[in-house]
Amino acid sequence: MQLRATTLYLVRHGQTAWNLEGRCQGHADIPLDATGIAQARSLAAALAGHRIDAIYTSDLARAHETARIVAAARSATAIARRALREIDIGSWSGLTDEEIEVRYPGFVRPDGETDEEHVARVAAAIAEIVAAHPGEHVLVVSHGQSLEAFRRHAGMRSRPLRNCEWFTLVARDGMYRE
C-alpha cells in the first residue's frame, strides 16, 4: 500500500516534421524539428518552478530529445524506457490518414500492436515509475496516443494533446486523479 502520493507531470513530445505533414509515426524514430526543440525549451522554462525528482522518457528520439532538453535545464538525467513508446502501428508508419484510407479501407491495421497491448504496456510502465517514486514528483515524456490511452485507462476523459502539452495526475494506491 502506497501511503504517499506521487505527482506525475505527463508530457507529449515536441513537434516533428512528420507531425506537420500529418504522418503517423508510431515506432518510427523521428527527431524533433526546430519548432519541437523550441517547444521543449519553452517546456523546460514552464516547469522551472516545479519540483521534479525524476525524469522518464520514451526511448524514441522525439520524446527522448524533449526530455533531455528539460533535464539539461535542471542538470538532471532522463531515464529512457522502451515501454513508454507510442503505439506500434506497423504498416501505417509514415502514412497520412488519406494514404491509410486508400491502402487499408476502414482503417483496419494489418499488423503492429493492438490498442489493448498498447495501453497495458504504457499503464504497466507508469505504475512501475509510480512504485519507484512514492511521494515524489516525476516528469514522464511520452507520445500523444500513449498518454491519451493512459488517461482512459485511469478513468479520465481523454482528448488529443498538442506537442509539448502536459497535464498533472496524482497517483496513490493504484488510483489516479487530476
Looking at residue 2, its pLDDT comes to 54
Q: Please count the other Cβ atoms lying within 10 Å of the Cβ belonging to residue 29.
A: 11
Q: Is residue 115 part of a domain?
A: yes
> Residue 41 sits in which domain range?
6-177
> Is residue 1 included in any domain, yes or no?
no
Residue 48 lies in a domain: yes
Q: Which CATH number covers residue 27? A: 3.40.50.1240
Q: What is the pLDDT of residues 33-78, one digit of tens each?
A: 999 999 999 999 999 999 999 999 999 999 999 999 999 999 999 9
Q: Does residue 173 belong to any structural domain of this protein?
A: yes
Average pLDDT, the chain: 96
Identify whether 153 is part of a domain: yes
Domain count along the chain: 1
- pTM of the predicted structure, to 2 decimals: 0.96
Asked, for residue 106, whether it belongs to a domain, the answer is yes
Distance from C-alpha of 116 to C-alpha of 59, rounded to nearest angstrom: 21
Q: Which of 13, 27, 64, 118 is catalytic?
A: 13
Active-site residue flag, 50 = no
Burial class from Cβ neighbours inside 10 Å (0-12, 13-18, 19+) for residue 99 reads middle
CB atoms within 10 A of CB 135: 12
Q: 102 lies in a domain?
A: yes
The span from the CA of 144 to the CA of 104, in Å, is 22
Cell of 93: 508508419
Of the candidates 168, 171, 166, which has an alpha carbon nearest to the alpha carbon of residue 132? 171
- Confidence band, pLDDT 50/70/90 cuts, at residue 166: very high
- 65, 86, 113, 148: the catalytic one is 86
Judge whether 86 counts as a catalytic residue.
Answer: yes
Q: Decide if 149 is inside a domain.
A: yes
